[in-house]
Amino acid sequence: MSDDRHTISANGLSATVLAHGAELCSLETADGLELVWQAGPEWRRHAPLLFPIVGRLRGDQLHHGGKSYPMTQHGFARDSRFEWVERREDFCRLVLTDSSETRSRYPFAFRFVVTYLLHEADLDVAFEIENPGDEILPASVGWHPAFNWPLLPGTAKGSYHLHFSNEEPAPIRRLKDGLLRAEPVPSPIAGKTLALSERLFDDDAVILDRLASHSVRYAADRGPSLEISWRDFRELGVWSKPGGAPFLCIEPWRGFASPSDFDGEFSSKPGLMHIKPGEKRTLSYRVGVR
């Protein structure tokens, strides 16, 4: 059994998870179809975890208690080695805890547990953020899974849509230089359906910060589809690399990038969870292969 990765399987579906970043690097069907982007030159990641921030802080600086700490986009979890807690045929659990190294960038105690479980044709992913310290833990968390686009090779990218469980009439948010623009813009979602095209991402991610849905279906008119659902996440990002790339990220978030005019105390940043000492938050995401 490798310390660097673990593959789980059930009912013909298999998923491989790396200790580095607790990152899902493969989700493969019984007939060998890979659904997860394989970290090609357009983007060298698969499905990174976002913690303790989602997006970027102004100046890449976290301010707390009169001090400033360096904090790069999406935080440090995606570049940290997690420890294996438990590994079984259809399940694995990993953990990242605070250390002197993390405290040099994020001066808080935390325990971040990530669980992957295959059940029938579904991959269940759970995030548990616990506060073992003696002060409020301000944090955000998100997942950044990139799925192949198209899912079925040879299918036109423009034939794919996202079909939301509810209508999504609210304006969306966009980014400028990695920060949240002040003004929302009209949603490109027509009722419950978002038509996918490369031009959709000319202005970076589509950010739903007034999300009405709890699930979405990623599908074309033929081939496999993904049924994606989430619990306790409040925002959703949809992204592909501007200029075109063969992947689509469907990202549940609890938090978002700093507004362009925010440069204050980190605990006052919009969108954060505030976890009391001794408490924890659990959020989950499901990918169903159909």
List Cα–Cα distances, 102 to 16, 80, 150, 174, 221, in angstroms: 26, 9, 37, 29, 46
User: In this predicted structure, what is the pLDDT of residue 2?
Assistant: 84
Helix (H, G, I), strand (E, B) or coil at 185: strand
User: In this predicted structure, what is the pLDDT of residue 1?
Assistant: 72
Q: Is the preceding omega at residue 150 within 30 degrees of 0, hence cis?
A: yes
User: In this predicted structure, what is the pLDDT of residue 278?
Assistant: 98
Q: Are strands 280-289 and 226-231 parallel, antiparallel or unpaired?
A: antiparallel
User: In this predicted structure, what is the pLDDT of residue 198?
Assistant: 96
pTM for the model stands at: 0.96
Helix (H, G, I), strand (E, B) or coil at 7: strand
CA 93 – CA 111 distance, rounded (Å):
13
User: In this predicted structure, what is the pLDDT of residue 182?
Assistant: 93
Residue type, position 95, single letter: V
Domains defined for the chain, CATH in brackets: 5-289 (2.70.98.10)
The sign one gets for the Cα dihedral 4, 76, 83, 6 is: negative
Residue owning tokens 């547990």 = 113
CA 163 – CA 40 distance, rounded (Å):
27
User: In this predicted structure, what is the pLDDT of residue 23?
Assistant: 98
Nearest residue to 277 via CA among 63, 98, 109, 107: 109
User: Tens of pLDDT along the chain (290 residues)?
Assistant: 789 999 999 999 999 999 999 999 999 999 999 999 999 999 999 999 999 999 999 999 999 999 999 999 999 999 999 999 999 999 999 999 999 999 999 999 999 999 999 998 999 999 999 999 999 999 999 999 999 999 999 999 999 999 999 999 999 999 999 999 999 999 999 999 999 999 999 999 999 999 999 999 999 999 999 999 999 999 999 999 999 999 999 999 999 999 999 999 999 999 999 999 999 999 999 999 99
List helix spans (H) across 68-199.
Answer: 100-103
User: In this predicted structure, what is the pLDDT of residue 49?
Assistant: 98
Residue owning tokens 């605990």 = 267
* Whether the Cβ atoms of residue 110 and residue 139 lie closer than 8 Å to each other: yes
Residue 81 DSSP one-character state: B
* Whether the Cβ atoms of residue 220 and residue 160 lie closer than 8 Å to each other: yes
Q: Are strands 175-176 and 179-180 parallel, antiparallel or unpaired?
A: antiparallel
List Cα–Cα distances, 50 to 121, 145, 222, 228, 268, in angstroms: 25, 10, 32, 18, 19
User: In this predicted structure, what is the pLDDT of residue 274?
Assistant: 98
CA 15 – CA 130 distance, rounded (Å):
26
Biggest alpha carbon–alpha carbon distance for the chain: 56
